[in-house]
């Protein structure tokens, strides 16, 4: 078992977790057993990943930018990164719109089913609508205001403020570049060492990952709502999964193949553990430490590129969320019998693209941003209740899409800047020997 590759251990943990959850709900008190005695191990795993996220972003971004030693390089890398992220996001939204209009998953939903779903999930929908309304009423430039923290310690205390942490890290690193090297060296050495410590913490934490995903998947199965309600949403789920599957299995590896020459197999072998962890946690931010490790060690992306591109991608590049918002908006419109014209759907493209940038890299954040997309398109926001039942498992696949997109873009940027090298020989399983 010790020599089994890490991604297989994670897969085994996921499968055993689903089996344990299914067996538990067959008996009275089984659900409570899972929730009280198994789920906490998964919760601990997610909290530990989130614990590392903020110091990792601070250390890796500051180290990556100061390694550039030139502001012009930062501008060049930043322009290529944001430009590529925007392109992939628009592609994801357009793909989602095309599929949902072709398959029309919402056309067959009956009035009885719709009313049942709305009744069951009215409370959950109301909380998302309230949160989205407060964001919408904040003003057109509120996102720009929120980008700048008034207290870095306050921003770092909340994983939902990743953009503020990134802003501070970039601002701080630029200041280090602009002062005299002999004065900046002690600070830079500190963050270089801090980055190494955080990466070693990730190595240690990954030893626990199979147990963590076991707890997460067992709880997900045990806490799932009435299965009869999922039948009405199978077509919606299929449509979204088809779109996400095309992005993960075709679009991203095709981009990597065309622009870097890397094979499909090498790309997926390199990123697979991060994808599996993304599936388990439903959080790009929580998966970020592993994504950075895999991209650098197994895909050959230079550290300064990965340290810049991936933290930004985990916050603003939400291709899976973009595709989901397009599919979900039109699905809800179809369920209500609304006919969306071309201009409305073009508005969905723009709104979904912008909304995905503002979505926090945490589970189900896309639900909140979806309310804004629905409002822009004139679709009843109460229709959010129609999809909440299946949002959690679909969110897991959306996160795989987001993480895979981040990895692919980092390879494209690295290739363009001449910083895509041969993957290192070191493998994840070597860490087991080091720690033993």
Tens digit of pLDDT for each residue in 341-351? Answer: 777 788 777 77
Query: How far apart, in whole angstroms, are the C-alpha atoms of residue 215 and residue 217?
Result: 6
**279 domain-assigned:** yes
**275 domain-assigned:** yes
**163 domain-assigned:** yes
Contacts of 361 (CB under 8 A, 6+ apart): 162, 283, 284, 285, 286, 288, 314, 315, 318, 402
* Residue 186: pLDDT over 80: yes
Report the chain's mean pLDDT, rounded to a whole number. 78
Query: How far apart, in whole angstroms, are the C-alpha atoms of residue 405 and residue 163?
Result: 19
Mean pLDDT of the 363-384 span: 65
**433 domain-assigned:** no
3-state secondary structure 352-404: HHHHHHHCCCCCCHHHHHHHHHHHHHCCCHHHHHHCHHHHHHHHHHHHHHHHH
Confidence of residue 356 (pLDDT cuts 50, 70, 90): low
- Cβ 274 vs Cβ 141: under 8 Å: no
3-state DSSP call for residue 261?
Answer: coil
Confidence of residue 133 (pLDDT cuts 50, 70, 90): low
**304 domain-assigned:** yes
Which pLDDT belongs to residue 71?
66
Tens digit of pLDDT for each residue in 63-116? Answer: 777 776 666 666 777 778 878 888 898 899 899 999 998 988 877 766 666 565
Which pLDDT belongs to residue 144?
74
Q: Give the percent of the chain with pLDDT over 90.
A: 14
Q: In terms of pLDDT, which residue wins out, 132 or 264?
A: 264
Tens digit of pLDDT for each residue in 163-184? Answer: 688 788 888 988 988 888 888 8
* Residue 435: pLDDT over 50: no
Give the closest residue to 412 by CA, choosing from 77, 57, 63, 94.
Answer: 77
Q: Residue-wise over 68-83: b if at least 16 C-beta within 10 A, else e?
A: beeeebbeebbebbbe
Q: In terms of pLDDT, which residue wins out, 162 or 422?
A: 422
Tens digit of pLDDT for each residue in 278-324? Answer: 887 777 777 888 898 899 888 989 888 888 888 878 766 788 888 98
Confidence of residue 244 (pLDDT cuts 50, 70, 90): very high
**435 domain-assigned:** no
* Residue 123: pLDDT over 60: no
**74 domain-assigned:** yes
Task: Give the chain's domain count.
Answer: 1
Which pLDDT belongs to residue 14?
78
Tens digit of pLDDT for each residue in 379-434? Answer: 776 666 667 656 767 888 888 999 999 999 999 999 988 888 777 644 444 434 44
Which pLDDT belongs to residue 434?
41
Apex 335 CA angle, 378 and 120, nearest 5: 100
Range of the structural domain that residue 38 is part of: 6-426
**136 domain-assigned:** yes
Q: In terms of pLDDT, which residue wins out, 377 or 192?
A: 192
Which pLDDT belongs to residue 336?
73
* Residue 436: pLDDT over 50: no
What distances in angstroms separate CA 14 from CA 20, 97, 290, one per listed residue? 10, 31, 17
* Residue 153: pLDDT over 80: yes
Confidence of residue 130 (pLDDT cuts 50, 70, 90): low
Top-ranked range on mean pLDDT: pick from 175-189, 212-226, 240-254: 240-254
Query: How far apart, in whole angstroms, are the C-alpha atoms of residue 105 and residue 330?
Result: 9
- Cβ 34 vs Cβ 226: under 8 Å: no
Which pLDDT belongs to residue 162?
64
Which pLDDT belongs to residue 422?
73
The domain that holds 311 is classified in CATH as 1.10.3860.10
């Amino acid at each position: 078992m010790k020599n089994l590759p890490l991604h297989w251990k994670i897969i085994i943990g996921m499968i055993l977790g689903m089996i344990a959850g299914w067996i538990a709900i067959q008996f009275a008190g089984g659900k409570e057993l899972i929730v009280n005695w198994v789920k906490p191990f998964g919760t601990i795993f997610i909290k530990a990943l989130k614990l590392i996220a903020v110091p990792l972003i601070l250390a890796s971004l500051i180290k990556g930018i100061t390694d550039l030693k030139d502001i012009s390089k930062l501008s060049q890398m930043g322009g290529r990164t944001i430009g590529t992220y925007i392109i992939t996001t628009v592609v994801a939204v357009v793909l989602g719109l095309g599929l949902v209009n072709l398959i029309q998953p919402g056309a067959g939903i009956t009035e009885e089913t719709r009313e049942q779903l709305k009744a069951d999930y009215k409370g959950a929908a109301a909380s998302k609508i309230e949160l989205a309304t407060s964001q919408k009423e904040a003003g057109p430039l509120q996102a720009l205001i929120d980008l700048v923290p008034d207290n870095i310690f306050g921003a770092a205390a909340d994983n939902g403020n990743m953009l503020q942490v990134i802003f501070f890290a970039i601002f701080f690193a630029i200041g280090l570049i602009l002062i005299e090297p002999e004065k900046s060296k002690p600070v830079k050495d500190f963050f270089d060492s801090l980055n190494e410590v955080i990466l070693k913490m990730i190595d240690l934490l990954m030893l626990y990952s199979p147990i963590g995903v076991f707890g997460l998947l067992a709880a997900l199965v045990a806490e799932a709502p009435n299965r009869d309600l999922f039948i009405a949403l199978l077509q919606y789920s299929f449509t979204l999964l088809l779109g996400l599957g095309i992005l993960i299995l075709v679009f991203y590896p095709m981009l990597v193949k065309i622009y870097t020459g890397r094979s499909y197999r090498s790309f997926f072998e390199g990123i697979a553990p991060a994808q599996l962890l993304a599936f388990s946690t439903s959080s790009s931010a929580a998966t970020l430490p592993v994504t950075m490790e895999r991209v650098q060690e197994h895909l050959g992306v230079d550290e300064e590129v990965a340290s810049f591109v991936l933290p930004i991608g985990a916050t603003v590049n939400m291709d899976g969320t973009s595709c989901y918002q397009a599919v979900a908006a039109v699905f809800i419109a179809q369920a209500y019998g609304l006919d969306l014209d071309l201009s409305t759907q073009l508005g969905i493209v723009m709104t979904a693209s912008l909304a995905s940038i503002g979505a926090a890299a945490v589970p189900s954040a896309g639900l909140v941003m979806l309310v804004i997309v629905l409002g822009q398109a004139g679709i009843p926001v109460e229709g959010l209740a129609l999809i909440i039942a299946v949002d959690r498992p679909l969110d897991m696949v959306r996160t795989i899409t987001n993480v895979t997109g981040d990895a692919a873009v980092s390879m494209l940027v690295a290739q363009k800047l001449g910083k895509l090298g041969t993957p290192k020989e070191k493998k994840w399983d070597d860490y087991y020997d080091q720690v033993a």
